[in-house]
Amino acid sequence: MGLLDKLRGEFIDIIQWLDDSNDTLVYRFERYQNEIKMGAKLTVREGQAAVFINEGQIADVFKPGMYELTTQNLPILSTLKGWKYGFNSPFKAEVYFVSTRNITDQKWGTKNPITLSDSRFGMLEIRSFGTYVIRVKDAPVFIREIVGTDGHFTSEKIAEQLRSMIVTRFTDAAAESDVPIEAFARNLNELSDYVHKVIGPEFEQYGIEVTKFLIENVSMPEEIKKEIFELSRLNAIDLNKLAQIKAAKAMEKAAENESGTAGAGMGMGMGFAMANQMGQTFAGGQQQNQQPASSTPPPVPPALTFFIVTNGQLAGPFDLNTLKQMVLQNQFSKETLVWREGMANWTAAGQVPELNSIFGSVPPPIPGQ
């Protein structure tokens, strides 16, 4: 550095930092040989803190305001320098300006899927991403633990480390939150608050405060999504109506099948069952409007029909004769889940008394085959 720079450095007595960036966390004020005149003016703006360091040791810290540097407002530095009786000559010290305002739009995300265990879906993998906002809460701690001697420290230099901490804590929090996997999407705010509380103390160890933490999305495998959607639909609709709709669609498909009589017979059986249900509804409506004649016999009781689950799909309703044929064709067994109107839940066919006659009437295997 030339003589002109030296003279300029010796006579400059204003110490300040005009921050025009959005990501700078720490800026070291440069002086010629770090010399500062006693009585120099120090300006610390809102959203800043100034930290004086002497030979690698943190000394005095200044909050927002304007100061005239004297031994009175540099008590720690005066002690370190040994200024017992006052000091008026230039002195050497490093000055670090620390931004204490919020650094927004910091992004985080899981690079690799997170494996979780769900009581209903078993082991599954999820991904997640979101944003967070940080600010330096304790400037000396932040310099000591993170910055060191870096003269221009930006948020990008610590972003990767912070993201790793967040993903690790998010994984633990997601596993310990006891939130069902299908409830993640509608509980993002609650899950965000929970993770925020978990990661807060760890960030403070580095002098950083997480002022806001948001989970924007939690994604899961497509097959798990489909199962969750199916469960939500079943919980939201009337099972009786669903069974009627399924039966009507099955009847239409059977009527379109011209390749054999089995499909037509099943279609006719389902059609008869639907006709019986519709006839009961129609007859019930008539009974509300008029009294039946005393000479009219009571209606024929409806045929006993059952819906079944085959290959994970709903089928039926089938009458007892059709189910007996299906037993002979190994399409129906005692383990098959069945349901009919009046039953509370799906039940194995072997546990339904009305179906015992079907399995009992099946002939044994032909000898020698």
- Any idea what the CATH number is for the domain that residue 200 is in? 3.30.479.30
- Nearest-angstrom CA–CA distance, 26 and 206: 14
- Nearest-angstrom CA–CA distance, 349 and 354: 9
Is the domain of 218 the same as that of 327? no
Considering the domain boundaries, does residue 286 fall inside one? no
Here the CATH number for the domain that contains residue 311 is: 3.30.1490.40
Considering the domain boundaries, does residue 38 fall inside one? yes
Is the domain of 315 the same as that of 340? yes
Give residue 75's domain range.
3-99
Is the domain of 222 the same as that of 247? no
Q: What is the pLDDT of residues 50-73, one digit of tens each?
A: 999 998 899 999 999 999 999 888
Considering the domain boundaries, does residue 133 fall inside one? yes
Is the domain of 209 the same as that of 107? yes
Number of structural domains the chain divides into: 3
To the question of pTM greater than 0.85 for the whole model, the response is no
Considering the domain boundaries, does residue 349 fall inside one? yes
Burial (CB count within 10 angstroms: exposed 0-12, middle 13-18, buried 19+), residue 87? middle
pLDDT tier at 204, thresholds 50, 70, 90: very high
What is the model's pLDDT at position 239? 55
pLDDT tier at 111, thresholds 50, 70, 90: confident
Considering the domain boundaries, does residue 368 fall inside one? no
What is the model's pLDDT at position 261? 45
Spell out the residues 6+ positions from residue 97 whose beta carbon is closer than 8 angstroms to its own: 17, 19, 26, 27, 28, 29, 44, 48, 49, 50, 51
Considering the domain boundaries, does residue 232 fall inside one? no
Amino acid residing at 306: F
